[in-house]
Structures are given as C-alpha cells and as structure tokens.
Amino acid sequence: MKNTLHNLLNAGLLFIASFASEAQLINGTFESGDLTGWTVFNDTNGTAGGAKVVLFDTAGTGTPSLSAQFEVGSTIGYVYGSLGHGGGISQFAHLKAGQLNISVDIAAYNPIPNLNADAGNFVLIVDGTNVLTNGFGSIGGYQTNRSTLNYGKTVAAGAHEIAIDMWRNYTMGTGNGASPFQYLDNIVLTGSAVPPLVPIPLNIQLGNSAAILSWTNAAFLLQTAASLSGVYTNIPGATSPYTNNISSPMEYFRLVAN
C-alpha cells in the first residue's frame, strides 16, 4: 500500500504542470469522447445527422483519433445551390485583441460502394459571418476526402463565436443509399489574440486509505495509465476532487486539455 501511494504521489509530481489556454476552445480535439463544450445546431431545413464522437482518421495520420462525426443533409429534398441544408457545432472563446488563427481538420467518408454527388461543404463561421468554405464535391465508393480549414483575422477583445457548419443539397440517405459522413478534429486557435498558456497543477493528497486528486480547471480531463510511459486513457466522469482507492493496482495520472 505504501508503495502504491508513493507511486501515486510521484505520478502527481511528474505531471504537476499541465498546460492549456483559458481562451482555447473546450474539447477542441474531442478527447472527452463526446461533444462537451459544443452546441450542436441544425440549419433551416437541414440536419446535423445525429452528431457524435467516434474514432476516425480525420487528419490522415494513419491513426484514428476521436473526431466529431456528422451525416448532414436537407430535410426538404434536393435544392440546387442553396446553403443551409445541414448543421454543425459552435462555441464561444474569450480572446484578447490581436491576431486570431483558426485551424480545423476536416474529412468526409462515403460508406457505400456507389459514387455520391456531394461529400459535403464545410463552412467556418466567426461571429455569425461565413469566412471560409471548403467543398469536397463528389466522392467515390468507400472513399475518404481530407483537407484543413485555415483562416486568420484581427479581432477585438471579448467573446467570439466559432462555428463550423456542414451542408449538402441532398436529403440524408440511409442503408444502401447512405449519405457520406462528415468529420471534424483538431479545432485549434492560435495567434496573439489567444491568451498565454497557464499552468494547471494536479494535486494529490492522502485521505482514509485513498488518494484524492484535485485540480482547478474543469476544462481539463483526468487520464490514467498503468505505467509512466504507457497509454493514457480518460477516466469517464472524473471531476475534481477525484478519489482513488490506493489498494487498487498502481496507476499514474495526468491532466490533459479538452
């Protein structure tokens, strides 16, 4: 038991300073496994198609990561050249005055063997204004298309809404006629408008044969691994303070930004 506690305390010291920006988007990499921090919306006459978080190689690294998945489309039938037939996600970020850069990994996948005429259009929206659009066009059977949205502008200090809208001019198909899926990952803010990184300590205390872990920023996720260099996974529902029984197998802990 003493060795277990010793290792827990060492792990806490090793990971005593995790970093994230107060202005950085909550759950911009979807590591919570859900859409925590984001507001899901449907456009007029459109649907976001059961938005959720799944494992998918959105960035094209060869390794799937947690990504937001959509299957957008019109709810009123085919309307040529019309925006607003789909949906997306949005969130407010509190920024300083200065340069704001936004980067988003995007992808679309066709889950059936037939060609689809519209893989999806991705629209980056800042403070209610469409600032950048990327349209994938048609997509072959079982094909994946990937790209990145990159945009920069000067902003004033205050709260700014960041949104990504996805739309298609077709209704959402199912089964053998399923529509392509759309994916988002790594929604990242950089630039002088983003406040500097601040340390977030992970504190560990002993209490009644348990290790009590606490931290001050609820936007951080607590992760655990069986070894220092092992694979860290999120602890579902873990909030500060978090109690861990020290009679359990040895564990290492760290905080990661959402």
Do residues 136 and 108 lie in contact, with contact meaning Cβ atoms separated by under 8 Å?
yes
Sorted by sequence, the CB contacts under 8 Å of residue 174 that are 6+ apart come out as none
CB 85 within 8 A of CB 79: yes
The candidate with the shortest Cα–Cα distance to 143, out of 98, 176, 111, is 111
**Mean pLDDT of the chain, nearest integer:** 85
Query: What pTM does this model have?
Result: 0.74
What's the pLDDT at 35?
A: 93
User: Roughly how many angstroms between the first and final C-alpha of the chain, as a whole number?
Assistant: 32
Residue 121 CA to residue 83 CA, distance in Å, equals 9
Nearest of 94, 91, 90, 101 to residue 157 by alpha carbon:
94
pLDDT for 79 equals 73
Map out the domains of the chain as residue ranges. 2-21+197-257, 39-190
The pLDDT of residue 83: 67
The reply to whether 39-190 shares the fold of 2-21+197-257 is: no
pLDDT at 160: 95
What is the reported pLDDT for 6? 43
Residue 257 pLDDT:
65
Specify the pLDDT at position 82.
65
Which residue ranges in the chain fall short of pLDDT 70?
1-23, 81-83, 197-198, 247-248, 257-258
What pLDDT is attached to residue 16?
35
Statement: 39-190 belongs to CATH 2.40.50: no
Check residue 208 and give its pLDDT: 74
Please give the CATH number for the structural domain made up of 2-21+197-257: 2.60.40
